[in-house]
Amino acid sequence: LDWDEGPERGGPSAPYRQSERRDLYTARVDDLIAAGHAYRCFCTPGMLEADTAEQRRKKLPPRYVGRCRAIPVDEALAKASSGERFTVRFRAPHGRRLLLPDLVRGQVSFVTGGIEDFMLLRSDGRPSYNLAVVVDDAAMGITHVLRGEDHLSNTPKQVLLAEALGHEPPAFGHLPLLLGDDGAPLSKRHGRASLADLRAAGHTPEGILNYLALCGWSHPEAKEILTVEELRASFDLGRVGGGGSIFDAKRLAWIDAHHLRAMTWERLRALCEAVAVEAPTPETLALIQPNLRTLWDARDLGAIFREPFDPGEDAVRALKTFDASPLLGAAGAVEAGDYDAFIAALKARAPGYKGKRLFMPLRLALTGREDGPELREIFAALGADRRRARLAEAARRLGGA
């Protein structure tokens, strides 16, 4: 996505890092304490662990027991001023039912009695997640929050906190999660569970965005290959389903291949430069683009046409399985420059080779790969001198002439 503003781009809402916004969080917490919506908690980690152990023994859900909720403000301030360590907790109201509209799920109901007095500030002054997002959303003018359904339980806390601070909460929409093959939420144990993993696999931003948009949403005309502009024009939260989508690596690869094969040379070059990969020339791209599946293919297939060229040990081992020395020796002696004439002359010189036994050794010797552009196109692009040199090198590596 193209960010409107942020730590790398800047903007009117700076600073953007939480570590640089602590004064703002502290000021808002002071406002909450003064208004009676928050209080200092002096419970030690040992006390909290004992409370949790007792609740588990009684088979109750673990939650803060409210031990410090009734400490008078002046007494709490005196304890804090004397150096006693404390956290700050939100004073969750009891006896309220919250009916919250959700852009994906419709109206969702919560009872505030099930919400504990959750933490706002840790003992070292760091803000909790709920405090930081509520304060930042208000300060930065956030109107809509779209996130995974695993954050649904945070919504009533954030709405209550926004109300206490006098802010209008943003509109929330909770999207279904991506799942692994076992139906559990996608995680590291399933493999590619982060954008970094997908980038490392050579997927492009266009392909990733297209695939993720189709997880739980469908285009009104059932289109599957969509540009950012097409997604922007057609995406509607009303078409997002409530069930999770199983991550499909094959579908992602299929979608990404379509984007790579339609990509301009300028865009591909920019993507290659971003990951320190040498981009193919425009002429080379025209040859290899129909074979691109990931960004790494642009690197690997582009290497076919670069010098110095080394077929690699894998190709040499594969050539040995074809008993290719006689064929390569014969190929090196053929002078014909036209592909069809070359193949005809080679068949005459090496009559025992035909079909895969003829064409695969030629491909391996000329490219070092078993796949790639059409052999006819490779033949023409390399030219006579480079063809002859590569055939001779492959023959030499096999111990032939």
Asked if 297 contacts 371 with a C-beta cutoff of 8 angstroms, the reply is: no
Among 198, 196, 197, 216, smallest CA distance to 207 is for 198
**Can you give the pLDDT at residue 154?**
97
Bridge partners (DSSP) of residue 278 are none
Rounded to whole angstroms, how far apart are CA atoms 343 and 363? 13
> Which residues does the annotation mark as catalytic?
188
**Domain 307-397 architecture:** Orthogonal Bundle (1.10)
pLDDT, tens digit (0-9, with 9 covering 90-100), for 57-71: 999 999 999 999 999
Rounded to whole angstroms, how far apart are CA atoms 284 and 267? 15
Among 175, 180, 143, 148, smallest CA distance to 162 is for 143
pLDDT at 27 over 60: yes
pLDDT, tens digit (0-9, with 9 covering 90-100), for 309-357: 999 999 999 999 999 999 999 998 998 779 999 999 999 999 999 999 9
Rounded to whole angstroms, how far apart are CA atoms 229 and 327? 52
**Can you give the pLDDT at residue 192?**
75
- Per DSSP bridges, beta strands 144-148 and 119-121 are unpaired
Fold identical between 18-175 and 188-262? no
Q: Residue with structure tokens 């409107």? A: 4
**Domain 188-262 architecture:** Orthogonal Bundle (1.10)
Residue/partner pairs of 81-87 with CB below 8 Å, 24 or more apart? 84/42, 85/42, 85/123, 86/40, 86/41, 86/42, 86/123, 87/40, 87/41, 87/43, 87/119, 87/120, 87/121, 87/122, 87/123
Q: Give residue limits of the domains in the chain.
A: 18-175, 188-262, 307-397
The fold of 18-175 is: Rossmann fold (3.40.50)
Name, in order, each residue with C-beta under 8 angstroms of 307's C-beta and a sequence gap of 6 or more.
Answer: 386
Asked if 91 contacts 38 with a C-beta cutoff of 8 angstroms, the reply is: yes
pLDDT, tens digit (0-9, with 9 covering 90-100), for 39-55: 999 999 999 999 999 99
